[in-house]
């Protein structure tokens, strides 16, 4: 049996024709047509299958009348995760079944009137969330969501459910693989098309090259692979040309009508139907056998593309391009240097030595002389490293990376760069980390980051493309010489990878689960949030014993009762009543600061046998470095 029809072997002979290499015309955009009919963009377009079925059916009929041989159901976003945004997660089955029924009714109506053969493809878009290792949703959860949608689309079998499945606009190869796996498990006899979307350079949005995408998509067991949406027909053409030599599967091309432009307050697509038709011929000659349109295309585009296809000798074009095949490139994976060779902190952690760190917060302006002087004092006293937070509490401050570089250059002490996901997308994250490695920053603390609403600019937007777990995966890949798309960067970035832990968080079960994921992702040691209750630390260490990595305990010398109340109520840290009482009984600000130092010293003495290091957070105020030195028992020469 030919590989390209293997997945469709249980389907009808008519459906198999779609995968024989003869050009087949698919429809265009559904959303564009619904929007043109007055449906507001904030509506759930998939739900229109239930509330305005006639409107959806009319769009299908228009595409069929324009010459489309395959129409897609109005179910692109009809998965549990996307529908949850509209409060209708429980309607996944109902919406998808309605979508399949409406498309089938349109096909039957055209067949009865025009005796034209047409097929229904179940449209399946991305889930709208990030999957592990870069996101919080597991691969099994993704497959479950895809399975639920696919089961509804195919319910009833041929003639009732869809004839084939169109998994499209995939920005992540991992997500595409889960979608195909779900299709093969739930509907093994239904043919599957899977398409990625790419940037203007023709690479997938997760950084994967078109060539590598062709190889990975071919290995999923799909019946056809390709590219849709993206930056218009020229970009999709380049992807098809790059994919064609690397697979024997039929290729699918469904570009949008170019990049949308704002014209007199309206967002419109400027690519004409005639221009799209000219690229239809080029796409077929390049090897695409299923062609159609995406965003911005309408039945007028479909009609023009139908005319272009009539002018082609499709069988000859298909035979020519199917003969070329080369081996797909492979990306070598580099073994990162041993932990002991990456940095001083890494060497101490690897050797089991006790590490002392002091946290120094960047200034709110451009003058960091006080911070550099403080780092110099700590270095003189024998502190091993300086931790530099990344805009803590979402405050606007000098970049942590800048302060780290200046401290290392002027003082010579090693720094640990706190790096959050709050302000950066995955491309910016990769750029920052490559830059950090190139200028000698080798210790990274991977953090999700505080949301902007906690800071002094609450209207600022957050990114959160990934969380701390996803960030650890990115750093680990960079250490192995691979970028976010698993392409080679030439050499290892050589970072030591640390993560945060919060033993006193109210939901300790969730914290332990997330910590386990961080360790699995590649974390090599952890730094805790400030610890004020030894019992909390002991319980956390017991819970993580089976996957424990070296733990650095965070110690924060309190400065006042108000400071203690902030820790307990605002930061939700576990502060025992006894500590609150001691801070309340201090008779003056000076006495309160001294009491806070004594509490921190006691915590460090008790925690020291359990952990492999300490991070002392220098409190705010003119004596903050004095307090940090006192906690560590390093007071000589600090002007106590």
For residue 127, give the DSSP letter. Answer: -
Residue 260 reports pLDDT greater than 80: no
Chain segment 492-511, per-residue pLDDT in tens: 999 999 999 999 888 899 89
Q: Domain 3-7+24-321: give its CATH code.
A: 3.20.20.330
Q: Measuring CA to CA, which residue among 57, 59, 76, 72 is closest to residue 25?
A: 72
569-614: pLDDT as tens digits? 877 788 899 999 999 999 898 899 899 999 999 999 999 999 999 9
Residue 112 CB neighbour total at 10 angstroms: 9
Q: Which is more confident, 182 or 318?
A: 182
Residue 240 has pLDDT above 50, yes or no: yes
Of residues 193 and 325, more confidence is placed in 193
> Binding residue per annotation — 294?
yes
Contact between 164 and 180 (Cβ < 8 Å) = no
**pLDDT given for residue 12 in this prediction:** 54
pLDDT of residue 628: 84
**Least trusted range by pLDDT, from 247-256, 347-356, 445-454:** 445-454
Q: How many residues does the chain have?
A: 640
Query: Which of these, 227, 161, 168, 158, lies nearest to 192 by C-alpha position?
Result: 168
Task: Give the pLDDT confidence score for residue 321 in this predicted structure.
Answer: 39
Q: Is 227 annotated as a binding residue?
A: no
Helix then strand then coil, % of the chain, to nearest 5: 45, 15, 40
Q: Following DSSP, what letter does each residue of 241-273 receive, concatenated?
A: HHHGGG-SS-EEEEE-SSS-EEETTEEE----H
Strand, helix or coil at 329? Answer: coil
pLDDT tens track for 397-429 = 899 999 999 999 999 999 999 999 888 888 889
C-alpha to C-alpha distances, 262 to 106, 257, 266, 268, nearest whole angstrom: 34, 14, 5, 6
Q: What is the pLDDT of residue 334?
A: 86
* 56 Cβ contact list (under 8 Å, min separation 6): 30, 34, 48, 49, 74, 99, 102
In terms of average pLDDT, the best of 62-71, 104-113, 271-280, 420-429 is 62-71
CA distances in angstroms from 313 to 308, 310, 470, listed in the order given: 11, 8, 48
Please report, for residues 92, 125, 142, 144, the alpha-carbon distance to residue 81 in angstroms, rounded to integers and kept in the order given. 10, 11, 9, 11
Average pLDDT over residues 67-75: 95
Cross-strand bridge partners of residue 15: none
- The domain spans of the chain are 3-7+24-321, 339-632
Which pTM was predicted?
Answer: 0.62
Percent of the chain whose predicted confidence (pLDDT) is above 70: 88
β-pair partners for 193 = 166, 224
Residue 564 CB-half CA count within 13 A? 26
Q: Which of 8, 6, 5, 23 is nearest to 253 (CA)?
A: 23
pLDDT score of 8 more than 50: no
Assign 152 to helix, strand or coil. helix
With 80 as the cut, is the pLDDT of residue 270 above it? Answer: no
Q: Would you say the CATH fold of 339-632 matches that of 3-7+24-321?
A: yes
pLDDT for residue 618 is more than 80: no
Q: Averaged over 320-325, what is the pLDDT?
A: 42
- Three-class SS state of 523: coil
Q: How far apart are CA 224 and CA 221, in angstroms?
A: 9
Residue carrying structure tokens 């307050």: 265
Q: What is the DSSP string of 349-412?
A: HHHT--EEEEE-PPPSSS--HHHHHHHHHHHHHT--EEEE-SSGGG---S-HHHHHHHHHHHT-
Residue pointed to by tokens 């969501």: 145
What average pLDDT does the segment 333-356 reach?
A: 94
Angle CA 270–276–278, to nearest 5: 130
44 annotated binding-site participant: no
Band (pLDDT 50/70/90 cuts) for residue 13 is low
Domain 339-632 classification at class level: alpha beta
Supply the DSSP symbol for 546.
G
Look up residue 343 and give its two tokens.
């940095």
CA 42/CA 57 separation, integer angstroms: 21
Indicate the angle between helix axes 273-286 and 233-243, nearest 10 degrees: 0
pLDDT tier at 620 (50, 70, 90 boundaries)?
low
> What are the E-state strand segments in 61-191?
70-72, 119-124, 164-170
């Amino acid at each position: 049996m030919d590989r390209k029809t293997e997945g469709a072997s249980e389907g009808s002979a008519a459906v198999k024709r779609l995968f024989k290499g003869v050009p087949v015309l698919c429809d265009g955009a559904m959303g564009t047509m619904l929007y043109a009919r007055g449906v507001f963009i904030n509506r759930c377009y998939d739900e229109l299958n239930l509330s305005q079925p006639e409107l959806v059916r009319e769009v299908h009929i228009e595409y069929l009348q324009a010459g489309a041989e395959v129409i897609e159901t109005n179910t692109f976003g009809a998965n549990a995760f996307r529908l949850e945004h509209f409060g209708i997660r429980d309607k996944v089955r109902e919406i998808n079944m309605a979508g399949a029924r409406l498309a089938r009714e349109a096909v039957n109506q055209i067949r009865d009137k025009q005796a034209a053969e047409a097929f229904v493809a179940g449209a399946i878009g991305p889930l709208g969330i990030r999957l592990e290792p870069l996101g919080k949703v597991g691969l099994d959860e993704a497959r479950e969501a895809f399975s639920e949608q696919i089961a509804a689309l195919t319910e009833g079998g041929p003639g009732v459910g869809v004839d084939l499945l169109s998994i499209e606009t995939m920005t992540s190869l991992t997500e595409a693989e889960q979608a195909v796996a779900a299709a093969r498990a739930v509907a093994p006899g239904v043919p599957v098309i899977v398409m990625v979307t790419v940037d203007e350079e023709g690479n997938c949005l997760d950084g994967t090259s078109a060539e590598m995408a062709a190889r990975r998509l071919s290995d999923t067991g799909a019946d056809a692979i390709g590219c849709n949406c993206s930056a218009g027909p020229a970009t999709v053409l380049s992807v098809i040309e790059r994919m064609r030599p690397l697979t024997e599967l039929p290729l699918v091309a469904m570009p949008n009508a170019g990049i949308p432009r704002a014209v007199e307050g309206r967002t419109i697509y400027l690519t004409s139907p005639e221009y799209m038709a000219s690229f239809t011929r080029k796409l077929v000659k390049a090897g695409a056998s299923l062609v159609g349109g995406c965003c911005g295309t309408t039945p007028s585009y479909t009609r023009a593309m139908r005319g272009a296809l009539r002018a082609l000798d499709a069988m000859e074009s298909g035979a020519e391009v199917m003969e070329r095949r080369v081996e797909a490139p492979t990306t070598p994976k580099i073994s990162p240097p041993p932990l002991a060779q990456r940095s001083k902190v890494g060497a101490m952690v690897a050797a089991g030595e006790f590490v002392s760190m002091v946290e120094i917060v960047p200034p709110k302006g451009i003058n960091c002389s006080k911070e550099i002087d403080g780092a110099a004092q700590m270095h003189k006293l024998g502190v091993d490293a300086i931790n530099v937070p990344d805009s803590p509490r979402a405050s606007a401050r000098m970049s942590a990376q800048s302060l780290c570089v200046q401290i290392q250059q002027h003082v010579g002490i090693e720094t640990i760069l706190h790096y959050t996901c709050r302000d950066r997308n995955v491309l910016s994250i990769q750029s920052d980390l490559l830059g950090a490695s190139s200028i000698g920053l080798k210790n990274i603390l991977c953090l999700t980051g505080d949301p902007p609403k906690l800071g002094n600019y609450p209207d600022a937007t957050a990114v959160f493309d990934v969380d701390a777990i996803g960030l650890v995966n990115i750093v680990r890949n960079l250490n192995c010489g691979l970028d976010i798309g698993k392409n080679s960067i030439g050499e290892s970035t050589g970072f030591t990878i640390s993560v945060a832990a919060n033993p006193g968080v109210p939901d300790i079960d969730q914290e332990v689960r997330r910590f386990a994921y961080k360790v699995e992702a590649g974390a090599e040691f952890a730094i805790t949030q400030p610890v004020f209750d030894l019992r909390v630390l002991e319980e956390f260490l017991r819970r993580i014993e089976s996957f424990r990595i070296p733990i650095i305990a965070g110690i924060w010398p309190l400065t006042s009762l108000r400071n203690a109340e902030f820790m307990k109520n605002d930061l939700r840290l576990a502060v025992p009543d006894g500590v609150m009482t001691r801070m309340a009984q201090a008779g003056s600000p000076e006495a309160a600061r001294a009491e806070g130092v004594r509490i921190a010293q006691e915590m460090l003495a008790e925690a020291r046998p359990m952990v492999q290091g300490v991070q002392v957070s220098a409190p705010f105020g003119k004596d903050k470095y004095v307090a940090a030195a006192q906690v560590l028992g390093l007071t000589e020469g600090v002007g106590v």
